[in-house]
Every structure is written in C-alpha cells, then in structure tokens.
Amino acid sequence: MRRRRPLLDSYRGTHPAGDRTDTVGHRLGPSNFRWDTCGPITKLPAQSILAQPPIRYDADMEALEWWLRSEPAIKVSSVAVLVALVSLGFAISSFITGRQALGLSRQQEERRLARLQIEYSKAYWSASDVGRAYVFDITVQNRSDSPNAVARAELWINYTLNKQQMRVVVPNVTSASEWAMKLPQAVGARDTIGGILEFIVPDEFLRSRVVRNFELELTDTFGVKRTVSAIHVPEKVATSEE
Amino acid sequence: MKNRIERSTLPVIKVLETGATATSNVSSGAFVPVVMVATDAHPSVAELIRAHAHISGGDCQSSWARPPLNKGLIYLTLQFERPSDFGFHLAFDLPGQAGAVDQVMRAKSLYLQHGSSGRGLEYHIDEPRILIEAPADNFSDIWDDMFLRAAAKIARREGASYLESRSKARELIDQWRNFFDGHSDATGAENPSPDE
C-alpha cells in the first residue's frame, strides 16, 4: 500500500531542495528543481545538513495546485473522469454480485432438477436355467428437492466379435429375491433406495464373444439416463451358509 | 413446412433380393415383405439379427429418404435403439425393387434377413429374420408418384410408348396391389404355415 508522505507547507520557502548538497558537493533534492530561481550552490558542513529537517516532495499537493490553477474545462473533464472511475467501480461491484447471484440461482435450479445418482456396491453373475443371471446391487440417490422414479433399467454389453466392437442391450427382469427392485420404483425427494437388478443373458448369446465391459443404464421419469460401468463382473461364489 | 436436408453418415446396405411371407400371427396373415441383405459383408447386421433371436423386444426408428443425386434409389433408414444401437440405410433399386418398396409401404413392416444376390427367398427360407415396423405416413403420397414413374419406366422397357406407359403403369400398380391385398384377405388366419 502506498504510504502517504507528510505534507510540508514550507519546503519551497525555507528549505529549497536546490540549496542542499552533500559533503562532496553533489546536488540533493528533486530532479525537477529549477536552478534559475535559486541562489548559487554553497557548500555546507555535514553537521548543518544533518540538522535540517528532511525535504519531502509531495506530488499530491502539486497535483492539487495544478488542478486549482487549471482551466475550467480541464476541471470539468477531470471531475468527469473521476465520476467515470467511480461508476466503473460500481459496475465491477455489480458484476461480482451478479455472478454470485447467478451461481446461487444455478445451485437452486440444480436442486430442483431431479437427477438420480447411481452407485453399485457389487455385481456378479450366476448360472440359471435360461442363461447367465447378471445381478447388480445398487443404490439410487435423489439429492434434489423433486420426487423422481426409476422407470427403466437396461444392461448394455460391450463386446468384440472378430475385432469389431458390438453393443447390445438386455432388459431388466424382475428377480424373485426379496431385495429385488421392482420397476418402476419411486425415489422421493432427498431419498435413497437400494435393491438388486437382474438381467438374463442367454448362454448362446455370448459364446465366442469377448466382453469388454457392462454398462448399467437407468432411465428416470424425465427420460434422463444415468449409466454406471462395470468392467469385471465375477461369478457368484456360493458360501457355506447358502 | 420447410424440408430439412441432413447429411447422413450411416452405412448404406444394398438390398439384394426381396420376397414376401405370410404367417397367421403377424399382421393377421397378411403378406409381409422380406428384404435380404449380405450380412456377411455387414457383421453388425448379422449380430443384430442374432441378438434379436436371443433377446426379445427392440426399438427401431425408420424413415424413407431419397438420395438427392440418384433417382434410381430409395432409402429406408433404420435406426435401431434396442437390442443394439446401430443404424443403416437400406437401398432399394428403382424400378427393379419398386414392388417390394410398395409392399413395405402398405404392410408398414418388413422382415430383414441374410441373403445372396441372385438367390431368392426359397434358398434362404430358414435364415433367422427380424420383423421391423416401418410406417410411412408422411412418405406415402410421394411414393405413389414415384411408384407410378417406376411402373411407367417398366412399361416403356416392355415396349409401351411414352403416352401408353402412364395408363399401363396404373394398371400394373392396381394389379400388384390387388394381388397382395386379395391374397392377404383370402389367407387371413387360416394359413398358419409360412407361405411365400
């Protein structure tokens, strides 16, 4: 921060800068000193120089004096510049406030948009009579202020056949498990639901196909799709309790 | 309404052969055209047909289109959403396959299956096929005019003069449509076996 220099009211009269020299005769004072208005350079002893109060050059005072002496048109112009600068300050302040208000509005709008967040805790497959049963244990969060629902669940299988990438979707089947998520499933505002989704893929279908990954896609009431990807879906290992 | 022209990047698959089949459980026994394409050259189509055999249900959006610089073709654009997200243009040759196009327009559906050039449906009757719904509500008026021109072209090839070709084309179209409509009415649900 700029330090304001102390105002000296008499530096022109009693302490002209041009009168000061150092002990070897070098001139002290501001560079714009006018030698023609001052007396000759006199060598002063070092003690007397140190005894004098320090000379300060006050640019603000000079600017004020210049402004007071200047033409009225220049005065008006300078006042206009000052007003313009103040207006610019207000404009910048309004801009910052507006940006903050826009951010807040967007956050509120985001909260109104009922977008579902999907997470799956585990995924596995097990053999069934009609093929492989792929099971995804998922939780669905609705962080918004509006209620929503899981309308449809599909499993996209990305695989390669003869080095060509293929993509096939398998619809959801209602599982017999008590934890099965029965679609359509409502998700209230700021609510979380959980359950398992099951997809049956015939054994013949994936024969000699190299599966790259699985994508679980959930479609909500508003038609917005959310996808969670699973690369490795292991076979379910039967435990001793089962 | 202003027409919108869009450049499509979907692959164009030429229709090799066409036929028709009727079963009691599809369209009440009406003839449904069978469109055969070389799926060995397009493995994605083969995989789509194979997936349909294992995974029931599917969604497909269809639209008819004409290439701007080739009046000898008509495209049926099929954009599948399920069980595979894949799209392509079926290119029908005019006037050679105009009858098949008219059948698709009237039946609002078609079967798609593997086929080979020069070998009809009788050689590929056991191939797996998928049934695709292809409504043509906005294109049928345009197609009527196109079909008339194609039939007139066929009539001129058979020796009719330019003036005669229009009337012969109308007769040809009437005979063609009456044959399939009459046959569909006659068969109805009483013919459960595939009949081509």
Give residue-wise pLDDT tens across range A82-103.
999 999 999 999 999 999 999 9
For the cut 70, the answer to whether the pLDDT of residue B193 exceeds it is no
pLDDT at B181 over 90: no
ipTM of the complex: 0.70
So what's the pLDDT on residue B184?
Answer: 57
**Strand, coil or helix: what is B87?**
strand
B135 close contact with A: CB closer than 8 A: no
Query: How far off is chain B from A159, nearest CA to CA, in Å?
Result: 11
Residue A227 Cα, gap to closest chain B Cα (Å): 15
The residue that leads in pLDDT, A3 or B65, is B65
> Cβ–Cβ of A205/B47 closer than 8 Å?
no
Residue whose C-alpha is closest to residue A185's, from A234, A241, A231, A139: A139
**b (16+ CB within 10 A) / e for A149-188:** bbeebbbbbbbeeeeeebbbbbbbeebeeeebbebebebe
Mean residue pLDDT of chain B comes to: 82
Chain B touched by A210 (CB under 8 Å): no
A104: left (phi over 0), alpha (psi -120 to 50) or beta: alpha
Q: Is B57 in CB contact (< 8 Å) with chain A?
A: yes
Q: Which range, of A6-20, A133-147, A197-211, B83-97, averages the lowest pLDDT?
A: A6-20
Indicate yes or no: CB of B51 within 8 angstroms of CB of A202. no
pLDDT of residue A11: 44
Task: Please state, in angstroms and rounded to a whole number, the distance separating the CA atoms of residues A193 and B67.
Answer: 51
Q: Cβ contact (<8 Å) for A161 and B84?
A: no
pLDDT in the model for residue A177 = 81
- The answer to whether the Cβ–Cβ distance between A168 and B57 falls below 8 Å is no
Nearest-by-CA chain A residue for B81: A169
pLDDT of A30 > 80? The answer is: no
> According to the model, what pLDDT value does residue B195 have?
39
**B25 versus A187: which is more confidently predicted?**
A187
Query: How many CB atoms are located within 10 Å of the residue B78 CB?
Result: 22
Higher pLDDT, B107 or A86: A86
- Tell me what pLDDT residue A29 has: 54
Work out the minimum CA distance from B54 to partner chain A, whole angstroms. 6
At A122 the pLDDT is 87
- Rounded Cα–Cα distance for residues B71 and A73 (Å): 78
Is B86 near chain A, with CB under 8 Å? Answer: yes
pLDDT tens figures, A125-180: 888 888 888 999 999 999 888 888 999 999 999 988 877 888 889 888 887 888 88
A190: left (phi over 0), alpha (psi -120 to 50) or beta: left
What pLDDT, on a 0 to 100 scale, did the predictor assign at position A94?
A: 97
Q: Does B142 touch chain A (CB under 8 A)?
A: no
**Which pLDDT score is estimated for A143?**
86
A169 vs B55: CB contact, 8 Å cut-off? yes
pLDDT at A232: 78
DSSP label of A12? T
- Per-residue pLDDT, A81: 94
In total, chain B counts a number of residues equal to 196
B147, B101 in Cβ contact below 8 A? Answer: yes
Q: Does residue A36 register a pLDDT over 70? A: no
Give ∠ CA A49-A55-A60 in degrees, rounded to 5. Answer: 175
Q: Which comes out higher in pLDDT, residue A97 or B151?
A: A97
- Contact yes or no for A167 and B82 at CB 8 A: no
Amino acid at residue number A8: L
Measured between beta carbons, the chain B residues lying within 8 angstroms of A202 are 54-55
| pLDDT at residue A242 tops 70 | no
- Residue B34's pLDDT is what? 92
Half-sphere exposure of A172 (CA within 13 A, CB side): 24
The answer, yes or no, to whether residue A12 has pLDDT greater than 80, is no
Say whether residue A211 is in contact with chain B using an 8 A CB cutoff.
no
What confidence tier does A51 reach under pLDDT thresholds 50, 70, 90?
low
Which of residues A141 and A207 earns the better pLDDT score?
A141
Token output for A242 = 């089962």
Distance in Å, alpha carbon of A171 to nearest chain B alpha carbon: 8
Is pLDDT of A32 > 90?
no
Q: Is the minimum CB–CB distance between A160 and chain B shorter than 8 Å?
A: no
